[in-house]
Structure 1
Amino acid sequence: MSEERFYTKCTLIHDILSTQDGGASLSGKRATVGGWVKTGRQQGKGTFAFLELNDGSCLASLQIIVPSAVAEQAGLDLAKLVLTGTSITVSGTLTTPPEGTKQKIELRAEEVKDVGLIDKDEYPLPKTKMSLEKLRDYPHLRVRTNTISAIIRIRDELSFATATFFRSKKIRHVHTPIITTSDCEGAGEMFQVTTLINQTEKTVPNKDGKIDYTKDFFARQAFLTVSGQLHAETLACGLGRVYTFGPTFRAENSHTSRHLAEFWMVEPELAFADLKYVMDCAEDYVKFMCKWLLDHCIEDLEFMVKNFDKTAIDRLTKVAETTFKRITYTEAVELLEKVTDKEFENKVEWGIDLASEHERYLTEVIYKKPVIVYDYPKGIKAFYMRLNDDAETVAAMDVLVPKVGELVGGSQREERYDVMVQRMTEMGLPLEAYKEYLDLRRYGTVTHSGFGLGFERMLLFATGMDNIRDVIPYPRTPGKAVL
């Protein structure tokens, strides 16, 4: 049998500390670890140093004891080695610390190498807490903090849970373009992709006083995608069940805590499925992710509970174990219109989209659990949603959850060619731009449905964070794109 490869000379600190006895059974074994110093201090009048070393594999750090003689062999000064942010690789023997100490295992250094020193007067991350807002100025360094590293590990687990869930349902993962020529939402808030701008002459080709897009790279206007849905639909109408998971972009000049210019979406499309089936899929998927985090990420969740949201684990547990309530949009409006114990900032009226405060009131106060609202007025929903028999509503649904409100938005897609053309004409959308999409309705049309889950909103729900900029590694917002 071939030796298992780990692609690094270092043992993960997680693998040392995650044994049932917290690493105590590894006492006497040799190990090499690498990481960044969280905190450090000299002891014994400078004869040795204690370092709390973290490598990002888990929340906990491993205590390293570095004798001054070992540091001297590497040409190092202990005073520089203990500075927060210093990176080192250490080889030595794992030992049991003295009784009464918190650690179950520590590493006594016998060799220190690969040292990356810092300038303590310039390194921007202190030992003490820094505000999340300030940390956003250092996206290249903030992952070294407990908060951001925990969030990114939770993000990774949710990504893996997504792949696991859809694979178990035999729903294929497909890759859809980031550059597109169509606007899925029809809102026009898109980033344009062009090579027309001449950086030397600062000119743009034009014809008859208008920009000549035939001279552009794709010979027509192109944009960063706002959704992978339209492309996923075409693939579903041949593969049957697919999902796409990737970045999407909105050129929306919004500075709220709930909006990003670049964010990630999970978007399944299911052929031969009506609205009920896609509601079932969305509910099962959300519950699966909650259960997955509880089973695989409890240490990081407990950190979030301790530092940010005391209800995070309880919220995940309840959603994982609860059947979602399903009501029509009309029923939701009627319920909200009867509310007398709260004054809403936004008007409640049939024909107007529900605001976040309305969504959260339904889930947090009235039902105290997730709610799926369906059959929305056609005037507030996209052109591709199937028109219901009443000709006033469409087969659309939103999954609302505590903390964030809308988490999932989906619908049964309009599969009737004539109805689709009429809807697009009413909304002033150019038919030619959606020719391929309309072809699906002309060549072997089928009932199909899908939804989109905002991945960062799921992270807000799971972690209890208040600002969406703190749950994505590199937030893109109006006026700000660091790195």
Structure 2
Amino acid sequence: MTSKTVAELLSQDGTLQDVTLKGWVRTFRNDRFIALNDGSTINNIQCVVNSENFDEALLKRVTTGAAVHVTGELVESQGKGQSVEIVVKTLEILGDSDPETYPIQPKKHTFEFLRANAHLRTRTNTFSAVMRLRSSLSFAVHKYFNENGFNYMHTPIVTGSDAEGAGEMFKVTNLDAKNPPLNEDGSVNYKEDFFGKETNLTVSGQLEAETYAMSLGKVYTFGPTFRAENSNTTRHLAEFWMIEPEVAFMDLAGNMDLAEDFMKSVLSYVLEKNSEDLEFLDNRLQKEEEKLPQAQRSDMSLIEKIKFVVDNNFKRVSYTEAIDILRNCKPNKKKKFKYIIEEWGADLQSEHERYLVEKHFKCPVILFDYPANIKAFYMRLNEPDSEGRETVRAMDILFPGIGEMVGGSQREERLDVLKEKMKALDISEEELWWYLDLRKYGTAVHSGFGLGFERLVMFATGMGNIRDVIPYPRTPQNAEF
């Protein structure tokens, strides 16, 4: 007899004879009602046991967390809260669970406690829902790019270049840490290292993806990236996943079109496929917000926020226009912002981005043409504006509740301009010779963007801490599991 999943059984229109199911016990009430879950759905299925038909010693082993195999008859439920239930005929304990030490008891646990038990936290409703949504979003990413003619590219994890120029990278070496080979000046001789040069874990696959876009046309990366930034906050991880498409012959306007269409597509997918998980997380979030002062509560529920993105056209606004709006808005004039906007050139913070989205335009916003000095070297330089200010063809997409979601740009395709920018920022031409080659051999307009996958999962689940949307978070002083 083929074992069914809980999701399959709960979706049955009628009843079946002799069903079989394997899962983990959530609760066992009154020595009669087993709430069983196998991870296929947020919902448990009730298994009804007649204690007279089973050995007492066996029933004592039916404890929270135990893995069991039941067979029985699927019938219309006699109780409230479920349409069907299983009248158990046979019961087998596949794996015992010690009720005295099992951490995930049927009660409310703090997220801090669950992070310390991350290997078991997906046995709770909240984390099982979050991780099913993460899986669906991941599938939706690949689905979108596959259906739109993109080639999936696996960019290197070990790299000799720093795409962001931030210098916050993890070193990769097999040299003896206590006695490394040295040059005459006392510096480490990396020529004797495994790769013959200094190498790190990548912070981005963008530069390598650009090389493939300039031959395959449309490519994307979706893989792990690493940043040794000592930021122990709710929005930073040392290891995270990035989605990075790159497209040849596409300008900034096309890049904005692509990013908007992509975001709407993946979020529409989970609205359709993960409705039960979203409803659960939405209810959870609303209950949490009821504990907050009115001023700190969101104007929209979780599902409303997602639909806000899916159903609205994204407003496109230049950085210069946004600065004027922010400088003259009431929160800025009354000094309600933590970071007061005083002049053109300010690096916008989340509070500014959310004001533009949630209060001023009331729709997702794409900001473009940022000051050149606050953006990366590879972004296409515009002609100076009427006041002589230099901007680049960058764009950021801003969402409600979270601020910046996507960052991208038209890439600098002119060799002489790119060299000048690299020189000004002290970026080695020798290190990036292959990147400069793209501008020598068949250069063309091209663009792309980057999206931190965990930030997308946070938005879609309503979780407030990035540590809770990745299976095993890597943060300062923490590499457990």
Scaled by the length of structure 1, what TM-score is found? 0.92
Judge conservation of contact 1:70–1:112 (CA < 8 Å) in 2: no
SS at 2:435 equivalent: helix
| In 1, Cα distance between equivalents of 2:423 and 2:52 | 80
After superposition, residues 306-321 of structure 1 pair within 5 angstroms as 306-309=283-286, 311-321=301-311
After superposition, residues 191-202 of structure 1 pair within 5 angstroms as 191-197=170-176, 202=178
SS at 1:420 equivalent: helix
Structure 2: segments with no counterpart, 5+ residues? 287-299
| In 1, Cα distance between equivalents of 2:18 and 2:152 | 42
After superposition, residues 114-153 of structure 1 pair within 5 angstroms as 114-153=93-132
- Counterpart in 1 of 2:397? 399
Q: Does 1:206 align with 2:196?
A: no
- Counterpart in 1 of 2:329? 339
What's the CA shift for 1:70? 5.5
What's the CA shift for 1:14? 0.7
Q: Does 1:465 align with 2:453?
A: no
Segment of structure 1 superposing worse, 121-130 or 416-425: 121-130
- The letter for the 2-side match of 1:179 is V
What's the CA shift for 1:10? 2.7
| In 2, Cα distance between equivalents of 1:279 and 1:141 | 40
| In 2, Cα distance between equivalents of 1:133 and 1:364 | 30
SS at 1:264 equivalent: strand
| In 1, Cα distance between equivalents of 2:331 and 2:211 | 47
SS at 2:370 equivalent: strand
Percent of paired sites with the same residue:
50
* Residue from 2, 5, 13 that aligns with 2:6: 13
- Counterpart in 2 of 1:449? 447
| In 2, Cα distance between equivalents of 1:114 and 1:247 | 38
Judge conservation of contact 1:90–1:110 (CA < 8 Å) in 2: yes
Moved over 6 A (4+): none
SS at 1:207 equivalent: coil
* Residue from 9, 16, 38 that aligns with 1:55: 38
Judge conservation of contact 1:90–1:112 (CA < 8 Å) in 2: yes
SS at 1:410 equivalent: strand
Structure 1: segments with no counterpart, 5+ residues? 1-7, 44-48
- The letter for the 2-side match of 1:435 is W
- The letter for the 1-side match of 2:34 is L
- The letter for the 1-side match of 2:60 is A
Task: Give deviations 1:189-238, integer Å, cap 9, x for gaps.
Answer: 0011111126xxx3222222111111111111111110110111111011
SS at 2:82 equivalent: coil
Segment of structure 1 superposing worse, 9-18 or 445-454: 9-18
Report the count of equivalent residues: 459
Task: Give deviations 1:98-119, integer Å, cap 9, x for gaps.
Answer: 2x53322111222222521122
Judge conservation of contact 1:70–1:109 (CA < 8 Å) in 2: no
After superposition, residues 284-299 of structure 1 pair within 5 angstroms as 284-299=261-276
- The letter for the 2-side match of 1:474 is Y
Q: Does 1:97 align with 2:86?
A: no
- Counterpart in 2 of 1:46? none
| In 2, Cα distance between equivalents of 1:389 and 1:94 | 71
Q: Does 1:39 align with 2:27?
A: yes
SS at 2:35 equivalent: strand
- Counterpart in 2 of 1:479? 477
| In 1, Cα distance between equivalents of 2:88 and 2:175 | 59
- The letter for the 1-side match of 2:322 is A
What's the CA shift for 1:444? 1.1
- Counterpart in 1 of 2:428? 430
- Counterpart in 1 of 2:296? none
- The letter for the 1-side match of 2:226 is F
Aligned Cα RMSD in Å?
1.6
What's the CA shift for 1:96? 2.2
- Counterpart in 1 of 2:243? 266
SS at 1:423 equivalent: helix
| In 1, Cα distance between equivalents of 2:103 and 2:50 | 28
- Counterpart in 1 of 2:377? 383
Quickly say closer, same or farther: Cα 1:70–1:250, change in 2 above 3 A. Answer: farther
Q: Does 1:77 align with 2:83?
A: no
SS at 2:74 equivalent: strand
Quickly say closer, same or farther: Cα 1:109–1:441, change in 2 above 3 A. Answer: same
Task: Give deviations 1:310-342, integer Å, cap 9, x for gaps.
Answer: 611111112111100000111111100001245
SS at 2:404 equivalent: strand
Scaled by the length of structure 2, what TM-score is found? 0.92
| In 2, Cα distance between equivalents of 1:187 and 1:173 | 26
- Counterpart in 2 of 1:3? none
What's the CA shift for 1:260? 0.7
Segment of structure 1 superposing worse, 389-398 or 135-144: 389-398
Quickly say closer, same or farther: Cα 1:242–1:76, change in 2 above 3 A. Answer: farther
Task: Give deviations 1:323-368, integer Å, cap 9, x for gaps.
Answer: 0000011111110000124511113232121111111111111111
| In 1, Cα distance between equivalents of 2:392 and 2:405 | 19
| In 1, Cα distance between equivalents of 2:16 and 2:272 | 31
- Counterpart in 2 of 1:357? 351
- Counterpart in 2 of 1:4? none
| In 2, Cα distance between equivalents of 1:214 and 1:415 | 32
Segment of structure 1 superposing worse, 287-296 or 114-123: 114-123
| In 2, Cα distance between equivalents of 1:92 and 1:108 | 5
What's the CA shift for 1:271? 0.2
| In 1, Cα distance between equivalents of 2:246 and 2:316 | 21
